Structure 1
Amino acid sequence: MTYDIYFGRSPYNLKKRASQRTNRYDPGELEYDTTYYWKVVARDGKGGETEGPIWSFRTERKPNRAPNKPKSPDPYDGKTNVSIYTTLEWECEDPDGDELEYDIYIGKSVWDMKLVKRGHTTTRYDPGVLEYDTTYYWKIVAKDGRGGKTEGPIWSFRTEKKSNRAPEEPKALNPYDGAKDVSVYTVLSWICDDPDGDELEYDIYIGKSRWDMKLVKRGRTTTTYDPGELEYDTTYYWKVVAKDGRGGKTEGPVWRFTTEKKPNRAPNEPWAPNPYDGAKDVSIYPTLNWKCEDPDGDELEYDIYMGKSKWSMKLVESGVKSSIFFGNVYFLPEKLEYDTTYYWKVVARDGRGGETEGPIWSFKTEEMKKIKRSKLVILVDTSHGNAKFAGGTLLKSYKGYKKTFDWMEKELNCEVIYGSIKNLNSSKYDLLLIADPQSGYITSERNKIREFVKSGGNLMLIAKFRSYLKINQILYSLVKYDIFLGLDRNVVRIIVPKNNAHNFSSKVIGYQVGKGKLVVVSDFDIFSNLRNTELLGKIISWLRE
């Protein structure tokens, strides 16, 4: 017998697979879980043939095999300096060709790995931003969906050290760049961030020039700084250098601001009047003195009001300035009336709108005194001074001087004697007149002058001083040669005319320095003009009183 075997997956498409004499056939390895159809045709070799029925059978289900172990990790096991933005990758296969899913575990310890993703379908996973300079452990569990599961080994890697980024550029908050009228007590402030979140420190530089800023504070940990009291009306430049403590440093731009103008404060109230308030028996040639200060140090000017009633005071002088030599002083141009009460006040002005009115003071002048002598004996020194006056020759012949002295003898009942100080008799003369001293030079016979003044005699100098400096030279000479310095009650008066180049305005300047009396008559173009102004008459009257 011979058998033809037909085999296939469809009863309608059976194919002859073999022709054999045995009744046993091996179709080879079949596919799992598949239905097969087959039949046998028997032939006897003599033409006899019989076809059997079509049979079928279904193969067994395929037995599942677990996935292979995950391998080829990226980052590789033990890798260092891994980016904090890394992606985890691996390889894994299933021996049955099943599609796989993965459970992913990550942690900072092999004993504390946590499931971060279940049922992941690819071999690539993004864990997000990791921490710098940290060791991570991870593993993959592969599953084939048919109960097959394989846990991979534990791998590790270490992330990169944090790469430092410099702080951002500081930005000024207060004062803003270019600000004006800023308080002198302002506090500087700014903002600054660090991209890595580092704590920042700041170096602060300040100066009055962008090229001369000085470090005023190092390592400031806050974003404010108090520079203390600044100067008024001044432009300041400043900058901030931010440091993150890990080598990162950013220098901010140079900012500037201008402080407010100094607010003006009015002068203090005038005080310490002389004559003192309520004074009596005051000379009819008084010199008014007072004290006054300005809290801002401004130079002051004064308006002087005076009258016989506190309700009828009038402005007698405006813009009076303090003198370096004499201080705050006002010299009355005319004598006052005897036995009269006067009221006066001072208004101080600082030239910047500040004004302070002082209190009203008063004083009462002396009663009129009788002239004790009817005649003055005046010695005109001819022993020194300009050489042309030697011996008094030119002095006598000079019309201007001669007319004056003649007038003095006639109108003032004086006796004028021309002679030398060398023969000075202290008791004989009432007034010693030195004419035309040279630039403040005092005669070498100053001991004679000193004795004359000490004994109560009066000294008068007549000079053409063309500047205030010359007057100072004269006074300096007198002090230098001790003619009156250190004595008990000197009254020094300097008389100047209205046409003086330095605007002394015929004021009498007086102060106490010793016992005798000194008079300086200055800067007359023609000496004979003295009698026209009556100044000399006032001087002589004063001396006689």
Structure 2
Amino acid sequence: EYIFGGSGTASATWSGLSNDTVYSWYAKSDDGLSIVQSATWSFTTNYAPDVPINPTPSDGAIDINYSPTLSVDVFDNDGDDLTVSFYNASDDSLIDSELVIGGNGTAYVLWSGLLPGNIHSWYTIAYDGLNIGQSATWSFTTNYAPDAPTNPTPNDGATDISDDPTLSVDVFDFDVDIMNVSFYDASDDSLIDSELVLGGSGTASIIWTGLLSDTPYSWYAISDDGLSAIQSATWSFTTAIWIANHLPEVTNPIPSNGATDIGDD
């Protein structure tokens, strides 16, 4: 670069350098008669951030809730503050970002509103203002909601049912969660009783006591795996007509009471 008037600042752009590299340089000043060389100076180009690691949820995780916290560990060798951005890998849309001060730590964001039983993929980018480090792409599967309870006992519309009936339903959960199965009186949505079903599949049963005779009752069940609660259809039955249980009565004895002169045959 030319400097006019014998005084000023000369500048040049040195392009195409590599990250994390030491470079040395010097300058020469030439007035047409003499050439004078400067000292030799050096500088180190920016260290790019490490790629984010240690994802939460872990890659391939299952049974994840519908608003999970995503997190990664990040590191920058020269201590730059890092903007860590989390992306939905299905469409590269930004989920959210967090700043990690000092270039070393864990970044967290919340990914809300996910659907049950779906595979979700994501990745992160750490940016120090000059360079980026992009993570691998990871995935997880959200919790599968339980199936609605089925196969009611008593059958829907059943009659002549006892006034202390056993209610039961079959339940199923695809990802084998423990289910709390609650039975409700449909007339006022009051809880009758609950039972746990382990292993994601089975029959839940409870006893509904104190019912009146010759009376219709409606009920339903809800299966809850801790993340999703699924309600059954509403079923009904009618209790039996109650008849008082009297001891048998014996009357009109023959021979009559106190009779005399009775034959021996």
Instruction: Specify if TM > 0.5.
Output: no
Higher strand share: 2
- TM-score w.r.t. length of structure 1: 0.21
Query: Greater share of helix residues, 1 or 2?
Result: 1
TM-score (norm 2): 0.40
Higher relative contact order (CA 8 A, sep 6+): 2
Which protein is bigger by CA-based radius of gyration? 1
